[in-house]
């Protein structure tokens, strides 16, 4: 007997019959809801060709992919790279032997983890960005995302370094290595392997958060989407198209994270860090609690 | 700085709105999230598939897009939630909470599911072996342990929810982030204003994580 869940036993014939009834009921309810939505859309003329037209016109597709998706990916890419640098510095800093360094790193990380990314963006853009010679919106988004994701990654790095067995650093000290050498040659290389899936999961979070650039007119998918729906008044259609672009990119990232997890970390326990996205191995689900 | 201090009532009312958004969506997403988690771990394959699809799609969609869908998209279908206005609730507030709930419930569902998965299979087997009924196994053995294991991930989810309420700013709700923008617009010295508003969020986040820590310590079981 293969029991797959703690919650219930393998079903017998009567239970299976009951489950079939439930399946039919839930099928009817869900299909009913879907049908209601589709009918409503048809009723309001939301399937009219001219509302969907921009997503079939080459210029708009190009705008969505080049000015939208590419810019979004660029913002996410820059902020993840910078966040890894920020995270390394502050993660190692939180493990420093000097109480003052530890304290400073700790408070910086706690601060940026608690402040909403959107608020950070708005502050950066409207206080230092808008106007001549200021930061442009693109970099405001990148800086805000770097500070937030970097703080989360600092916690990941710290936990990753602590997860390296103690004997490793003790052995390194015993053969006469210095503190910096132990960190850069012994601890970090081993920690990176454990942390990779968490870093990739954080990419999903960064990518989703680039959409907040909408509030400060930063380039990206949401910005292009807004231009399209102000021109065509096709909010619903735009939301559907933009959301599916985001979902597909995120699913690819999740798939990579799962693959990396299998390849480099194996069946070992996944690094657990509070407030950090977790990768569900094999579940095919996206990580990314922000 | 003085500007905020002399208008401290505006500061407080902005945070009251932030907390209001947070509490309503927290309750909503706990209910919807529990339902989704139950569907997901339940024995009925179709329900489990449906919940998985919903969770995967919504989790991977940025919150902002969900806000656009609920606040700008649904009215296109004639869904305006006028009926809540008769109850004296602003429909903007209601729709912001709805967007936050739809989004956060998927994370709640995953947190609950991971809590249930954290209970070792041997626990249920042992309970059955000593003759507990299905109900007894559930209420005495499995669920208490699952509930405890759910506390830390749920705390993370709720901290994220608190910060996510700021997205409502982009849709004309005067919560803390919008109020900060209001103050920085009329003042020349923005950094202190940012810091004082950030401090509000830091305090709220610390309250949630302190509460979660207390609960976790209180309910910790020796394994």
Measure CB to CB from residue A289 to each of B73, B157, B201 and give the nearest one: B157
CB B29 within 8 A of CB B130: no
Cα(A245)–Cα(A210) distance, integer angstroms: 13
Contact pairs from chain A to chain B, CB under 8 Å: 186
Residue B198, token pair as written in the block: 């950030």
Q: Do A111 and B198 touch (CB under 8 A)?
A: yes
pLDDT per position in chain B (223 positions), as tens? 678 888 888 899 999 999 999 999 999 999 999 999 988 888 888 999 999 999 999 999 999 999 999 998 888 888 877 777 777 778 889 999 999 999 999 999 999 988 888 888 888 888 888 988 878 888 888 888 888 888 888 999 999 999 999 999 988 888 898 999 888 888 878 888 999 999 999 999 999 999 998 988 888 765 5
Question: Would you state the pLDDT for residue A286?
Answer: 34
Considering only CB atoms, which chain A residues are within 8 Å of B194?
119, 123, 127
Which pLDDT tens digit goes with each residue over A82-117? Answer: 999 999 999 999 999 999 999 999 999 999 999 999
Q: Do A122 and B180 touch (CB under 8 A)?
A: yes
* Residues shown for chain B: 223
Cα(B161)–Cα(B158) distance, integer angstroms: 5
**Chain B residue nearest residue A19, CA to CA:** B44
Rg of chain A taking only CA atoms, in angstroms: 24
Cα(A39)–Cα(B209) distance, integer angstroms: 45
Nearest to A243 by CA among B110, B103, B96, B100: B103
How distant, in Å, are the alpha carbons of A67, A205, B105 from that of A70?
Answer: 6, 17, 30
- For chain B, say whether A8 makes contact (Cβ under 8 Å): yes
Q: How far does the CA of residue A171 sit from the closest CA of chain B (Å)?
A: 31
Q: Do A46 and B121 touch (CB under 8 A)?
A: no
CB A82 within 8 A of CB A148: no
**Chain B residue nearest residue A204, CA to CA:** B60
Cα(B203)–Cα(A268) distance, integer angstroms: 36
Considering only CB atoms, which chain A residues are within 8 Å of B160?
275, 289-290
Question: Would you state the pLDDT for residue B98?
Answer: 94
Cα(B155)–Cα(B210) distance, integer angstroms: 10
Considering only CB atoms, which chain A residues are within 8 Å of B202?
110-111, 114-115
Q: Do A22 and B47 touch (CB under 8 A)?
A: yes
CB A289 within 8 A of CB A152: no
Q: Do A19 and B72 touch (CB under 8 A)?
A: no
Residues of A (92-151) whose Cβ lies below 8 Å from B? 110-111, 113-119, 122-123, 126-127
Question: Would you state the pLDDT for residue B222?
Answer: 58
Cα(A37)–Cα(B89) distance, integer angstroms: 25
Residue A84, token pair as written in the block: 């890894």
Question: Mean pLDDT per segment of 10 residues, for chain A of length 290 residues?
Answer: 62 88 93 92 85 86 87 93 94 92 94 93 86 80 95 92 92 94 91 85 90 89 89 88 93 88 69 49 35
Question: Would you state the pLDDT for residue A275?
Answer: 47
Measure CB to CB from residue A114 to each of B44, B76, B201 and give the nearest one: B201
Question: Would you state the pLDDT for residue A281?
Answer: 34
Domains and CATH numbers, chain B: 2-219 (1.10.3720.10)
Considering only CB atoms, which chain B residues are within 8 Å of A127?
184, 190-191, 194
Question: Would you state the pLDDT for residue B91?
Answer: 83
Beta-strand ranges (E) seen in A37-151 are none
Q: How far does the CA of residue A89 sit from the closest CA of chain B (Å)?
A: 22
Nearest to A44 by CA among B83, B71, B75, B80: B75
Residue A52, token pair as written in the block: 């969907």
Q: Do A286 and B123 touch (CB under 8 A)?
A: no
Q: Is A11 left (phi over 0), alpha (psi -120 to 50) or beta?
A: beta
Residue B55, token pair as written in the block: 């969770």
Question: Would you state the pLDDT for residue A132?
Answer: 67
Cα(A22)–Cα(B39) distance, integer angstroms: 11
Question: Would you state the pLDDT for residue A178?
Answer: 93
Q: Do B60 and A40 touch (CB under 8 A)?
A: no
What angle in degrees, to the nearest 10, is found between the helix axes of A188-209 and A71-93? 140
Question: Would you state the pLDDT for residue A273?
Answer: 57
Residues of A (198-237) whose Cβ lies below 8 Å from B? 204, 208-212, 214-215, 222, 225, 229, 235-236
Q: How far does the CA of residue B34 sit from the closest CA of chain A (Å)?
A: 15
What angle in degrees, to the nearest 10, is found between the helix axes of A235-260 and A188-209? 170
Residues 6+ apart with CB under 8 A from B21: B93, B96, B97, B100, B165, B168, B173, B175
Q: Count Cβ atoms below 10 Å from residue A16 Cβ, excluding itself.
A: 11
Q: Do A236 and B61 touch (CB under 8 A)?
A: no
Cα(B108)–Cα(B26) distance, integer angstroms: 9
Nearest to A121 by CA among A107, A111, A135: A135
3-state secondary structure of B186: helix
Nearest to A105 by CA among A94, A89, A115: A94
Q: What is the ipTM of this complex?
A: 0.87
Provide the CB-side half-sphere exposure for A125 (13 A, CA).
24
Question: Would you state the pLDDT for residue B55?
Answer: 95
């Amino acid at each position: 007997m293969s029991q797959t869940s703690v919650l219930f036993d393998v079903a017998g014939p009567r239970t299976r019959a009951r489950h079939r009834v439930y399946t039919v009921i839930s099928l009817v309810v869900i299909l009913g809801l879907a049908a209601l939505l589709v009918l409503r859309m048809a009723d309001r003329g939301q399937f009219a060709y001219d509302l969907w037209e921009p997503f079939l016109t080459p210029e708009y597709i190009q705008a969505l992919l080049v000015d939208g998706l590419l810019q979004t990916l660029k913002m996410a890419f820059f902020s993840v790279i910078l966040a890894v640098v920020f995270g390394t510095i502050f993660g190692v800093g939180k493990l420093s032997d000097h109480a003052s360094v530890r304290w400073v790193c700790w408070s910086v990380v706690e601060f940026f983890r608690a402040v909403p990314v959107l608020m950070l963006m708005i502050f950066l853009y409207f206080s230092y960005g808008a106007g001549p010679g200021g930061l442009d919106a693109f970099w405001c988004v990148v800086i805000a995302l770097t500070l937030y994701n970097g703080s989360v990654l600092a916690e990941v790095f710290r936990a990753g370094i602590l997860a390296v067995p103690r004997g490793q650093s003790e052995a390194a000290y015993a053969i006469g290595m210095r503190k910096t050498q132990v960190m850069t040659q012994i601890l970090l290389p081993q920690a990176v392997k454990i942390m990779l899936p968490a870093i990739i999961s954080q990419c999903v979070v960064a990518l989703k958060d680039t959409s907040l650039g909408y509030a400060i007119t930063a380039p990206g998918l949401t910005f292009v989407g807004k231009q399209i729906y102000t021109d065509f008044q096709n909010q619903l259609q735009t939301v559907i198209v933009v959301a599916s672009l985001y979902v597909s990119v995120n699913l690819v990232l999740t798939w990579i994270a799962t693959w990396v997890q299998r390849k480099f970390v194996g069946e070992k326990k996944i690094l657990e860090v509070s407030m950090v996205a977790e990768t569900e191995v094999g579940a095919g689900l996206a990580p990314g609690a922000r | 700085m003085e500007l905020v201090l002399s208008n401290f009532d505006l500061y407080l009312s902005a945070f009251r709105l932030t907390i209001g958004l947070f509490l309503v969506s927290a309750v909503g997403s706990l209910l919807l999230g529990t339902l989704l988690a139950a569907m997901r771990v339940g024995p009925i394959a179709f329900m489990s598939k449906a919940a998985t699809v919903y969770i995967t799609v919504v989790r991977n969609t940025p919150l902002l897009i969900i806000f656009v869908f609920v606040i700008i998209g649904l009215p296109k279908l004639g869904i305006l939630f006028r009926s809540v206005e008769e109850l004296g609730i602003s429909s903007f507030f209601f729709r912001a909470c709805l967007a936050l709930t739809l989004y956060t419930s998927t994370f709640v569902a995953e947190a609950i599911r991971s809590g249930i998965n954290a209970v070792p299979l041997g626990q249920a087997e042992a309970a059955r072996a000593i003759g507990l009924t299905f109900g007894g196994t559930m209420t005495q053995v499995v669920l208490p342990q699952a509930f405890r294991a759910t506390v830390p991930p749920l705390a993370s989810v709720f901290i994220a929810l608190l910060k996510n309420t700021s997205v409502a700013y982009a849709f004309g709700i005067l919560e803390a982030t919008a109020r900060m923008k209001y103050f920085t617009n009329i003042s020349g010295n923005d950094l202190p204003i940012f810091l004082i508003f950030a401090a509000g969020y830091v305090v709220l986040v610390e309250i949630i994580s302190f509460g979660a820590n207390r609960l976790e310590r209180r309910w910790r079981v020796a394994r």
